[in-house]
Amino acid sequence: METLYTLLTFVVLFGLIAIPYWRRVARHKREAAEKFDKSQRMGIQAPITLHPHFDLTSCIGCASCVRVCPEHVLGIVRGRPAIINGSKCVGHGLCADVCPVGAITLGFGTPRQGMEIPYYDDHYETNVRGVYIIGELGGMGLIRNAVTQGVKAIEHVASARRAKQLDDLDVVIVGAGPAGLAAALAAQEKSLRYVVLEQEEIGGTILHYPRQKLVLTQPVELPLFGKLKFTEVTKEDLLRVWQEIVGRFHLNIVTGQKVESIHEAGGRMLVRTLTAEFRTANVLLALGRRGSPRKLGVTGENLSKVMYRLIEAESYKQKHILVVGGGDSAVEAAIGLASQVGNMVTVSYRKEEFVRLKEKNERKVKEFTDSGKLSVLFNSQVLEIKPDAVVVQSSGNIVHNLANDFVFIFAGGELPTELLKKCGIKMRTTEIEAQAVAA
Ligand SMILES: Cc1cc2nc3c(=O)[nH]c(=O)nc-3n(C[C@H](O)[C@H](O)[C@H](O)COP(=O)(O)OP(=O)(O)OC[C@H]3O[C@@H](n4cnc5c(N)ncnc54)[C@H](O)[C@@H]3O)c2cc1C
């Protein structure tokens, strides 16, 4: 009797632990399959940067890769690993590190759809002599890679000793993200005459990370400064370190200067912004892949009430606001603005539903639209922006004339391809395996 009682207790205890566990596992599998199917349907499965490729013949389905991914990019779908949140992949490669059977490699594009990246050689020099491409613009993500490439490119610039004319710079570095900043340190260490031109502020893509985002990186050696030792650091602390470095070594950086053209004339390169021209022997392009905000190209877009970034939602109260776009940035801005007193916020999105949203944003946007705090016009496009109104067309050719004080446009970024093409840099569409960058 006692044995039976013990057995029954064991079975009940086992059930209490095992059933919720199995349910959780089943729920995760179901959710992963749903996300995977949705991203396949929308054609957004492959991340634009470096991302995992799986060798399914070696994979043992242990899900170590899924558990280790800090961005929750991977899931097990019908017994196999798959990318279920492609837009969130930043190419850390932790998945490849932990795979016990080496079934993961990092690469670009997909077997069916390649990715367009610029041509450059082992020294990061493009087909245009003296013009280099470093960092994420070359297709390889991650801060450490950007830093390493910046330093190596400058080493080549210094050793090539390209002939320059009196008063010309040795190198113009375009972009003050991790690649450009590391290149500036290397240039300073080598006593090269250089300038960094940055269209926004110092920091590059890191400036645009969400507040308090934990940045995962590997220690990396910076010229003059020494080792950047951390493996985990908040966005704010990392930016503070960069600022300190810029100040301590008096790096020659000019912000608010967007480079519009680069061309060769009389044996030197001419780099032009809207307000200045720089003569140089070499150019390092460290533009990243965010590019410049994509414009809608509609009448009235040049009005000062039109913006491409929201800094302080709290500054907007009792206003009529249109937010254009359907990604996380657009939705987060819309929610932030709709939370302020008296704002009437409308989102205009060209697709029939939101497809790339973080779960938190998906939940919030539903809550806000259900409660009437936010209106969303799907399948819609802006026709015109007027000083006090916006004209938006939605499905069935319905035209909305909305009262408007501000327009925020989050329509993605224009790839810097135009600038590269103007420089004569060749592009290649390719699916290539990542090559580890020797530190
Ligand atoms: C959300 C998110 C999270 C990430 N998390 C991590 C992480 O945890 N760890 C990690 O290692 N990596 C992470 N990454 C990737 C990392 O941020 C990038 O790989 C890295 O910033 C690339 O550096 P970069 O210098 O090549 O380019 P960027 O940082 O993009 O900098 C390019 C700079 O060039 C400027 N520029 C562009 N065009 C012009 C022009 N015409 N004239 C003048 N200036 C111009 C831009 O304004 C920008 O400041 C993350 C990326 C994202 C989007």
Tell me the CA–centroid distance for residue 176 and ligand 1, in Å.
Answer: 9
The single residue listed with the structure tokens 């113009």 is: 172
Domain covering 38-107 in this structure, CATH number = 3.30.70.20
Pick the CATH number of 306-412 from 2.40.10.340, 3.50.50.60, 3.30.1370.100, 3.10.20.30: 3.50.50.60
Residues at CB less than 6 angstroms from ligand 1 = 90, 135-137, 141-144, 146, 174-180, 197-200, 204-206, 209, 215-217, 258-259, 286-288, 290, 416, 419
- How many angstroms separate the CA atoms of 298 and 307, rounded? 14
Q: How far is CA 11 from the centre of its chain?
A: 50
State the amino acid at position 281 in one-letter form. Answer: A
Q: What is the pLDDT of residues 316-359, one digit of tens each?
A: 999 999 999 999 989 999 999 999 999 999 999 999 999 878 88
Supply the pLDDT for residue 117. Answer: 82
CA trace torsion 44, 45, 51, 57 (10° rounding): -160
Q: Assess contact for 310 and 343: CB atoms under 8 A.
A: no
Listed by start position, the domains of the chain span: 38-107, 116-291+416-430, 306-412
* Residue nearest to ligand 1 atom 33, measured at CA: 175
Write out the H or E segment, with its range, that includes residue 292: strand 292-293
- How many angstroms separate the CA atoms of 296 and 324, rounded? 9
Q: Is the pLDDT of residue 42 over 60?
A: no
Contacts of residue 258, Cβ cutoff 8 Å, sequence gap at least 6: 197, 199, 273, 274, 292
* Residue of 154, 205, 272, 421 to test ligand 1 pocket, by largest number of atoms within 8 Å of CB: 205
Enter the pTM of the model: 0.71
- How many angstroms separate the CA atoms of 26 and 19, rounded? 10
Supply the pLDDT for residue 269. Answer: 94
Pair of tokens at residue 37: 């199917």
End-to-end CA distance of the chain: 69
Q: Is the pLDDT of residue 74 over 60?
A: yes
38-107 against 306-412: fold identical: no
Task: Report the number of secondary-structure helices (H) and strands (E) in the chain.
Answer: 9, 27
- How many angstroms separate the CA atoms of 248 and 6, rounded? 71
Supply the pLDDT for residue 41. Answer: 60
Contacts of residue 288, Cβ cutoff 8 Å, sequence gap at least 6: 135, 136, 137, 175, 177, 179, 204, 205
Pair of tokens at residue 15: 């059930």
- How many angstroms separate the CA atoms of 427 and 194, rounded? 27
Report the interhelical angle of 328-338 vs 359-370 (nearest 10°): 40
* Parallel/antiparallel/unpaired status of strands 74-77 and 80-83: antiparallel
Pair of tokens at residue 24: 């959780």
Q: What is the pLDDT of residues 82-102, one digit of tens each?
A: 888 887 787 778 898 899 988
399-427 average pLDDT score: 89
Q: Is the pLDDT of residue 109 over 70?
A: no
Q: How many CB atoms lie within 10 A of CB 253?
A: 19
Q: How confident is the model at residue 437 (pLDDT cuts 50, 70, 90)?
A: very low
> 376 or 117, which is more confident?
376
Domain covering 116-291+416-430 in this structure, CATH number = 3.50.50.60
The mean-pLDDT minimum among 228-232, 326-330, 365-369 falls in 228-232
* Residue nearest to ligand 1 atom 13, measured at CA: 142
Angstrom distances, CA of residue 336 to CA of 161, 211, 213, 280, 342: 52, 14, 18, 45, 12
> 37 or 260, which is more confident?
260
Q: How many CB atoms lie within 10 A of CB 277?
A: 9
Q: What is the pLDDT of residues 279-322, one digit of tens each?
A: 999 999 999 987 777 889 899 998 989 988 887 788 899 999 99
Nearest residue to 255 (alpha-carbon basis) of 143, 369, 173? 173
- How many angstroms separate the CA atoms of 83 and 73, rounded? 6
